[in-house]
Structure 1
Amino acid sequence: MAPYEALYGQKCRSPIGWFELGEADLLGPNLVQQVIEKVKLIRDRLHIAQCRHKSYVDVRRWNLEFEVEDWVFLKVSPMKGIMRFRKKGKLSPRYIAPYKIIWKIGMVAYELDLPSELEAVHPVFHVSMLWKCIGNICIAEDLSYAEVPIAILDRQVRKLRNKDVAFMKVLWRNNNVDEMTWEAEKEMRKEYPQLFMT
């Protein structure tokens, strides 16, 4: 049995079998011309299908480009049972602490300034392994950062069972206007007294 027949469950049709019986001559220039036309038709249809698939993929694709001195997160690809970048297990983070780009190699490769504990890792990475880091956020070793309030937008007093509690609508530094939160005024005065100086 031919591999094609084993895989697809039917016999492979040779170029001679592409035509109806009695339609083609077995030998001669007519057969060659008909085979060339069929191959051209197949190529055209493959090209149409390829363009259609490319248009589907291009909708979700965007060109990433970084500059030297930019800060980026490095994507860690966890693999079962393998420890990479000091991280192991299915709850390990997908990206690890931001690193500075020290050299741009072509359009898609970047060299990062890795710390000494990652000296066993090659410092050049493809653009798909990087994620832009916002420069004004101070990130700790555990990949957390402190939010800082920048404005109080609204005040409200809510009645609880036996007391009134003052709340305020706070705009945080690294969030959008849509991500404002209501915080207790007493706690905000204790944690951020500089907000109430003016």
Structure 2
Amino acid sequence: MPTTGVGRALKTKKLTPKFIRPYQIIRRVGPVAYQIALPPNLANLYDVFHVSQLRKYVADPSHIIAPNDIQLKENLTFEVPPISIADRTTKHLRGREIPLVKVIWNKMTGDATWELEENMRELYPDLLDTS
């Protein structure tokens, strides 16, 4: 997809023959126009381009993303195993004490939730015995 420097492109919405990188074509708008999926930093550019402003994509092995082997259930969901237990607390509710554990699901994204210790002990006994 062509553009001048990002700052100038955002101000003038005019493009020059410099190419940034490949973008996905969302749909064909007309016989010679295509709608392109632009990133948020180019959101105020019009996303439909004439075919003369586009280059043919040249395959690059580094652009291939290997899919993970995910086992889907019948309802098209999948189970993510917990990584570790980060914290423990006890919630007091109407005179009852409810033990909770903070479960880390993905270290890279920081996904964590508070779960009932009883449920986690039942589903993942090895996780609670080691921490």
Higher relative contact order (CA 8 A, sep 6+): 2
TM-score by length of structure 2 reads: 0.48
Looking at secondary structure, tell me which structure has more helix per residue.
Answer: 1
Give the TM-score, by structure 1 length: 0.34
Q: Which has the larger radius of gyration?
A: 1
